[in-house]
């Protein structure tokens, strides 16, 4: 009986931690979910007070591509920027993580 109680005390918190950590999307999952959405949604996320870009005082960056699309740069964490490709209808069509901080995400 003691053994079962000891295992239960160890197992229940471990399962709780596993459930909590699975709620945080990976960088890929987060960025994949934005593909096909309007860039305004991404900008709105960046403007929230809890976002990394808001906390670090990030200034909006963008640049044009030769195919008529443009890129909106969004910081994700230190040394990691996500370069979102935006089409002429302001829809996100793809992204590229850039920086050493993006490696293991």
pTM for the model stands at 0.74
Domain locations in the chain as residue ranges: 25-102
Locate all alpha helices (DSSP H) within the chain, ordered by sequence: 2-21, 27-34, 39-47, 52-55
Strands (E), 19-69: 61-64
Q: What is the pLDDT of residues 2-53, one digit of tens each?
A: 555 555 555 555 555 555 555 778 889 999 999 999 999 999 988 888 888 8
Phi and psi angles of residue 43, each rounded to the nearest 5 degrees, phi first: -60, -40
Structure tokens at 61: 């960056």
CA distance linking residue 103 with residue 80, whole number of Å: 8
CA distance linking residue 103 with residue 62, whole number of Å: 22
């Amino acid at each position: 009986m003691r053994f079962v109680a000891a295992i239960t005390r160890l197992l229940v918190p471990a399962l709780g931690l596993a459930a909590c950590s699975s709620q945080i999307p990976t960088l890929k999952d987060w960025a994949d979910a934005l593909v096909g959405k309007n860039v305004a949604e991404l900008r709105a996320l960046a403007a929230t007070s809890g976002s990394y870009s808001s906390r670090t005082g990030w200034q909006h960056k963008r640049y044009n591509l030769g195919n008529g699309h443009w890129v909106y740069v969004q910081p994700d964490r230190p040394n990691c920027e996500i370069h979102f490709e935006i089409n002429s209808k302001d829809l996100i069509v793809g992204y590229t993580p850039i920086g050493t901080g993006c490696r293991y995400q």
